[in-house]
Structure 1
Amino acid sequence: MALVDVDLALIGYGGATSLLLDALDRHGVRGLRIATVDPVETARPHRTWAFWTGPRDAFDPILDAAWSHVDLYGPGGAQRLELAPMRYAMVRSGPVFARADEAADRLGVQAVRASAAALDDDGTSVTVRDAGGAAIVRAAWALDSRPTAPHRPGRTFWLQHFRGWWVRADRDVFDPSSAILMDFRTPQPAHGVSFGYVLPTGPRTGLIEYTEFSPARLDDAGYETALRSYLKLLDLPELAVEEVEDGAIPMTDAPFARRPSPRVVRLGTAGGATRPSTGYTFSAMRRQAEGIAAALAAGGDPVPPAAYPRRHLWMDAVALRAWDRGLVAAPAFFERLFTRNPPGRVLRFLDGLTSPAEEVALMGSTPLLPMARAAAGDLLARIVR
């Protein structure tokens, strides 16, 4: 394989790279030599992303659904959360990937079908090498979205792990105007928290998912049992399962190296886009993509700002510690967070966009003594380390 010389090498071609290509195209970035480096020639795995957005969004033409109110089932019962002017939106990866492929064509992106085994950064350029050590791409910058381990271990490590069924009924069973965001009526694990959610795309179709925040995944039988139990709780008729999707997302206070060397920038979860306390990733990946595209359009370097403020990461570390040590029950924590604050404030916090004053109000709505104990324990652990 001949060495490919480019300005940008995009390592991995999943969600983060797809969003970046779309952003580069929309920001009018032209004249850059760009290559994607990924071994997969077939279609990328399908997945679903849910995120908070305003009354208008660049992805409106490809959204599967969006809701201006959602339902929460917590220890205190059912609560309807009015989100307007915000919306909770859902998009499937297929249309996102298709937009990225179209953008790649317009940008003249070269596809290099190979695995990147090493990124050698000499401070002026990055050489991408394959598993045999051969140089396949040389780039001024490498933007790497492949999964990677944290820079160092954290004090708490959980997973958001889930399995969802895309279902179809033979009669109207869903209210497409409303989604179930968190339903904590599911049986709770001994160490962790579980919930279901329902994202209808029509009166007869939707995504029903079982999710856990806990240290380890279930086996197939465990997810099957949990989903069937949740369908029974919802009192739904027999449904045809048309597709299955699952996954696991790290929830940890362990830091990820966003810039492991001068000209290598990490994107997605590897670049800190996953919110440690919730597993939400999509909105932060979009912000990374927009930041990079705006910087390049202005003639700058392709380095996005941090996905979340440092104070938010500290609050996430405290929350994870509180749940992991059994100081606070996560269902009650989330219920209090949503019911004792305006939904817009909570949504901005989950996206890392609140002000310090708003965060003081949010912290005041959580169980203060247990959270203070968790904060003290986190501080001690940082000192000891």
Structure 2
Amino acid sequence: MIDVDLVLVGGGGAASLVLAAMDREGVSGLRVAVVDPVHKRGQDRTWAFWGEPGGFLDPLLSAAWDAVDVVTADGRRTLALHPLRYAMLRSAPLYELAGAAEQRLGAVRITAPAGAVEDDGERVVVSGPDGEPLVRAGWVLDSRPRRPVRAGRTAWLQHFRGWWLEADRPTFDAGSAVLMDFRTPQPRRGVAFGYVLPVSERFALVEYTEFSPAVLTGDAYDTALRDYCALLGLDLGALVVREVEDGVIPMTDGVFEARPSPRVVRLGTAGGATRPSTGFTFTAMARQAGRIGRELAAGRAPLPGPAYPARHRWMDAVQLRALDKGLVDGVAFFGRLFDRNPPERVLRFLDGTTSWREDLALMSTSPLTPMMRAAVGDAFERTTKAVESPFT
């Protein structure tokens, strides 16, 4: 068993961002290990996010847009995002950046699945599934998926399938991205939309997404995508599906245990980086990785801080309840949100960076009566559960 200062359990997006942040902040003198059964390389996912230009990820981006479209049956809104922009990052360049950082840090790679993580308050032992110790460390950053430690009052999913479509002639508008297109048929309980992220005139990601309580069958996603492509006027007979991306992300007000023991910190969705109201994760994950890098460079504990303010988690819980109970129409809700607020304010709220004043302005543009009913219902359930289970 090797002995190190820091172990990253899991080697996906969250761990890659931490490695890149450590390298960027000039962390040195730490013994680092990465435990993952697969050494991530190449293209296995795409992240889309918004932020200000000029960050360290800029050279890695496949595309970026200064404006995006939101489409409903009533028409198309083009949202100017300045000073933000919407960006697309494919996994391969991030994995390459993390790999280079791993080498410069002198990290040890343990290509094996992790099992138990046991913390005695001073050191942590990471074992394999068979119980055999793999590595001992001062700190563990664990990005493996986990269920909430306490179930939420609402448990939905963001689930999707996307096709990377290639054409042999100019087909897509590379300067125009569709953030949400609500003209897709809507599920009985939930919200559905398509979106289009073109990398060039001949290559684009076209995706169908649902916010709802349960996933679909594979055939249902393909049918929805074919129908959406027809709605866009795309001739699938003239296009080639180069890649397929699937995903399921929790949308829940359940509580994720970000720090299960003194020297173990969870990252990514398991650490609360997923926004309950939308399923968006990447920006909070990158923000927390940056904080970890700075803390380590300063010789402090690698603690990322909360992904979102507590008031935002409460607002998300109320929104989820309103959608789940059918108190608001999902398409109308999101359309109204973008119609009555500056796009930059909405996007920063979804990233968890708006002020109290901006949050109040956002709440004032929502349908007040149904949202108040949702807030009262949420408060009642919180109180009831606290009385029933005072120690949870």
Normalising by the residue count of structure 1, what TM-score does the alignment of the two structures yield?
A: 0.98
CA distance in 2, matches of 1:123, 1:283: 31
Match of 2:71 in 1: 73
1:303 aligns with 2:316: no
The gaps in structure 1 that reach 5 residues or longer are none
Counterpart of 1:31 (choices 23, 29, 32) is 29
Match of 2:390 in 1: none
Matches within 5 A, 1:79-98: 79-98=77-96
- Contact 1:277-1:319 within 8 A present in 2 as well: yes
Q: What is the CA distance between 1:41 and its match in structure 2?
A: 4.3
Match of 1:224 in 2: 222
Q: What is the CA distance between 1:285 and its match in structure 2?
A: 0.6
Match of 1:365 in 2: 365
- Contact 1:75-1:335 within 8 A present in 2 as well: no
SS at match of 2:226: helix
Match of 1:182 in 2: 180
Match of 2:202 in 1: 204
SS at match of 1:376: helix
Amino acid corresponding to residue 311 of structure 1 in structure 2: R
Q: 1:303 and 1:44, CA in 2 relative to 1: closer, same or farther beyond 3 A?
A: farther
CA distance in 2, matches of 1:250, 1:258: 15
Output one character per residue of 1:74-127: Cα deviation in whole Å (capped at 9) or x when no partner.
243211101112100001001100100000000000001221110110000101
CA distance in 2, matches of 1:78, 1:219: 30
Match of 1:166 in 2: 164
Counterpart of 1:16 (choices 14, 17, 34) is 14
- Contact 2:159-2:209 within 8 A present in 1 as well: yes
Output one character per residue of 1:9-35: Cα deviation in whole Å (capped at 9) or x when no partner.
100100000000000000000100000
SS at match of 1:201: strand
Q: 1:57 and 1:172, CA in 2 relative to 1: closer, same or farther beyond 3 A?
A: same
Match of 2:126 in 1: 128
Counterpart of 1:193 (choices 186, 191, 196) is 191
Match of 1:342 in 2: 342
- Contact 1:75-1:332 within 8 A present in 2 as well: no
CA distance in 2, matches of 1:68, 1:354: 20
Match of 2:269 in 1: 269
CA distance in 2, matches of 1:384, 1:273: 27
Match of 1:51 in 2: 49
Amino acid corresponding to residue 264 of structure 2 in structure 1: V
CA distance in 2, matches of 1:331, 1:136: 49
SS at match of 2:285: helix
CA distance in 2, matches of 1:139, 1:20: 17
CA distance in 2, matches of 1:312, 1:278: 12
Q: What is the CA distance between 1:178 and its match in structure 2?
A: 1.2
Match of 2:388 in 1: none
Amino acid corresponding to residue 131 of structure 2 in structure 1: G
Q: What is the CA distance between 1:340 and its match in structure 2?
A: 0.6
- Contact 2:40-2:95 within 8 A present in 1 as well: no
CA distance in 1, matches of 2:157, 2:26: 38
- Contact 1:14-1:44 within 8 A present in 2 as well: no
Question: Equivalent pairs: percent with the same residue?
Answer: 60
Segment drifting more, 338-347 vs 191-200: 338-347
Q: What is the CA distance between 1:171 and its match in structure 2?
A: 1.9
CA distance in 1, matches of 2:252, 2:348: 20
Q: What is the CA distance between 1:43 and its match in structure 2?
A: 3.7
Amino acid corresponding to residue 214 of structure 1 in structure 2: S
SS at match of 1:131: coil
Segment drifting more, 152-161 vs 34-43: 34-43
Amino acid corresponding to residue 130 of structure 1 in structure 2: G
Amino acid corresponding to residue 221 of structure 2 in structure 1: Y
Q: What is the CA distance between 1:68 and its match in structure 2?
A: 0.3
The gaps in structure 2 that reach 5 residues or longer are 386-392
CA distance in 2, matches of 1:149, 1:283: 21
Matches within 5 A, 1:134-173: 134-173=132-171
CA distance in 2, matches of 1:44, 1:169: 22
Q: What is the CA distance between 1:299 and its match in structure 2?
A: 1.2
- Contact 1:168-1:204 within 8 A present in 2 as well: yes
RMSD: 1.0
Q: What is the CA distance between 1:55 and its match in structure 2?
A: 2.6
Q: What is the CA distance between 1:62 and its match in structure 2?
A: 1.1
Amino acid corresponding to residue 284 of structure 1 in structure 2: A
SS at match of 2:200: coil
Q: What is the CA distance between 1:135 and its match in structure 2?
A: 1.2
Q: What is the CA distance between 1:8 and its match in structure 2?
A: 0.2
Deviant stretches of 4+, over 3 Å: 41-45
Match of 2:389 in 1: none
Normalising by the residue count of structure 2, what TM-score does the alignment of the two structures yield?
A: 0.96
SS at match of 1:248: strand
SS at match of 1:36: strand
Amino acid corresponding to residue 176 of structure 2 in structure 1: S
Output one character per residue of 1:227-254: Cα deviation in whole Å (capped at 9) or x when no partner.
0000000011232111001110000000
Match of 2:284 in 1: 284
